[in-house]
Structure 1
Amino acid sequence: MPTVSAKDGTRLHYSDTGSGPPVVFLNVAMLDSRMWDRQVGALAERGLRCVTYDRRGGGRSDRPEEGYDYDTLADDLAALLDHLELTGVTLVGYAVGGGEAVRYLTRHGAHRVAGLVLAASATPVLFRTEGNPHGIVPAEFEPVFAAMRADLPAFLEELSVPFFGGPTATAQNPGSSDELRSWVARVAMDTSPHAAEALYRMLLGEDFRAELPLVGLPTLVVHGDADVGSPFALCGPPTAALVPDSSLVVYEGAAHGLFATHAERFSDDLLSFVGRDAGAGGGEA
Structure 2
Amino acid sequence: MPVAVIDGQPLHYVDQGSGPVVLLGSSYLWDRDMWSPQIEALSQQYRVIVPELWGHGESGQLPAQTHSLDDLARQTLALLDQLDIAHINLVGLSVGGMWGARLALLAPERVNSLVLMDTYLGAEPEATRQYYFSLFKMIEDAGAIPEPLLDVIAPIFFRPGIDRESALYQDFRKQLQGYSRERLVHSIVPLGRLIFSREDVLEQLPRLDADTTLVMCGEQDKPRPPAESEEMAGLIGCSLILIPQAGHISARENPDFVNEALLTFLANHA
Smaller-chain TM-score bracket? 0.7 to 0.9
Q: Is 1:87 matched up with 2:86? A: yes
Q: Is 1:4 matched up with 2:10? A: no
SS in structure 2 at match of 1:111:
helix
SS in structure 2 at match of 1:91:
strand
Q: Which one of the candidate residues 127, 139, 152 is aligned to 1:148?
A: 139
SS in structure 2 at match of 1:63:
coil
Task: Tell me, in whole angstroms, the C-alpha distance in 2 between the residues paired with 1:58 and 1:140.
Answer: 22
Report if aligned partners of 1:59, 1:190 keep a CA contact under 8 Å in 2. no
Residue 199 (structure 1) shift: 2.7
Residue 203 (structure 1) shift: 2.7
Worse-superposed segment, 196-205 or 36-45? 196-205
Task: Tell me, in whole angstroms, the C-alpha distance in 1 between the residues paired with 2:220 and 2:213.
Answer: 22
Q: Is 1:43 matched up with 2:42? A: yes
Residue 157 (structure 1) shift: 4.0
Task: Tell me, in whole angstroms, the C-alpha distance in 2 between the residues paired with 1:269 and 1:153.
Answer: 38
Going from structure 1 to structure 2, the CA distance change for 1:231 and 1:199 (only over 3 Å counts) comes to: farther
Q: Which amino acid aligns with 2:209?
A: G
Structure 2 counterparts to residues 85-164 of structure 1, below 5 A: 85-107=84-106, 109-128=107-126, 136=127, 138-149=129-140, 150=142, 151-152=144-145, 154=147, 155-164=149-158
Report if aligned partners of 1:12, 1:53 keep a CA contact under 8 Å in 2. yes
Runs (4+) of structure 1 exceeding 6 A deviation are none
Going from structure 1 to structure 2, the CA distance change for 1:20 and 1:184 (only over 3 Å counts) comes to: same
Q: For residues 192-249 of structure 1, what are the alpha-carbon distances to aligned partners after superposition, in whole Å with 9 as ceiling and x for unaligned?
A: 323222233223222121222222361111101321122332x2111111224x2100
Task: Give the structure, 1 or 2, with the largest relative contact order (CA under 8 Å, sep 6 or more).
Answer: 1
Worse-superposed segment, 56-65 or 92-101? 56-65
Query: In the alignment, what sits opposite 1:243?
Result: 236
Worse-superposed segment, 148-157 or 81-90? 148-157
Which runs of 5 or more structure 1 residues have no equivalent in the other structure? 129-135, 170-175, 277-284
Q: Which amino acid aligns with 1:225?
A: E
Query: In the alignment, what sits opposite 2:25?
Result: 26
Query: In the alignment, what sits opposite 2:205?
Result: 212
Query: In the alignment, what sits opposite 1:63?
Result: 61
Task: Tell me, in whole angstroms, the C-alpha distance in 2 between the residues paired with 1:26 and 1:186.
Answer: 22
Report if aligned partners of 1:5, 1:79 keep a CA contact under 8 Å in 2. no
Q: Which amino acid aligns with 1:165?
A: R
Q: Which amino acid aligns with 1:269?
A: A
SS in structure 2 at match of 1:228:
coil
Residue 167 (structure 1) shift: 5.8
Going from structure 1 to structure 2, the CA distance change for 1:120 and 1:9 (only over 3 Å counts) comes to: same
More helix by share: 2
Task: Tell me, in whole angstroms, the C-alpha distance in 1 between the residues paired with 2:22 and 2:146.
Answer: 32
Task: Tell me, in whole angstroms, the C-alpha distance in 1 between the residues paired with 2:157 and 2:172.
Answer: 9
Q: Which amino acid aligns with 1:116?
A: L
How many aligned residue pairs are there?
A: 259
Task: Indicate the RMSD between aligned Cα atoms, in angstroms.
Answer: 2.3
Report if aligned partners of 1:157, 1:181 keep a CA contact under 8 Å in 2. no
Report if aligned partners of 1:88, 1:112 keep a CA contact under 8 Å in 2. yes
Task: Tell me, in whole angstroms, the C-alpha distance in 2 between the residues paired with 1:190 and 1:36.
Answer: 20
Task: Tell me, in whole angstroms, the C-alpha distance in 1 between the residues paired with 2:110 and 2:80.
Answer: 8
Q: Is 1:258 matched up with 2:250? A: yes
Task: Tell me, in whole angstroms, the C-alpha distance in 1 between the residues paired with 2:59 and 2:208.
Answer: 29
Going from structure 1 to structure 2, the CA distance change for 1:271 and 1:205 (only over 3 Å counts) comes to: same
Q: Which one of the candidate residues 260, 267, 270 is aligned to 2:259?
A: 267
Residue 179 (structure 1) shift: 1.4
Task: Tell me, in whole angstroms, the C-alpha distance in 2 between the residues paired with 1:221 and 1:208.
Answer: 16
Q: For residues 112-132 of structure 1, what are the alpha-carbon distances to aligned partners after superposition, in whole Å with 9 as ceiling and x for unaligned?
A: 21000101013233225xxxx
Q: For residues 28-77 of structure 1, what are the alpha-carbon distances to aligned partners after superposition, in whole Å with 9 as ceiling and x for unaligned?
A: 111122211111001112x1111111122221111146315212111110
Query: In the alignment, what sits opposite 1:180?
Result: 168
Task: Tell me, in whole angstroms, the C-alpha distance in 2 between the residues paired with 1:37 and 1:262.
Answer: 12
Which runs of 5 or more structure 2 residues have no equivalent in the other structure? none
Task: Tell me, in whole angstroms, the C-alpha distance in 2 between the residues paired with 1:190 and 1:15.
Answer: 21
Task: Tell me, in whole angstroms, the C-alpha distance in 1 between the residues paired with 2:195 and 2:62.
Answer: 19
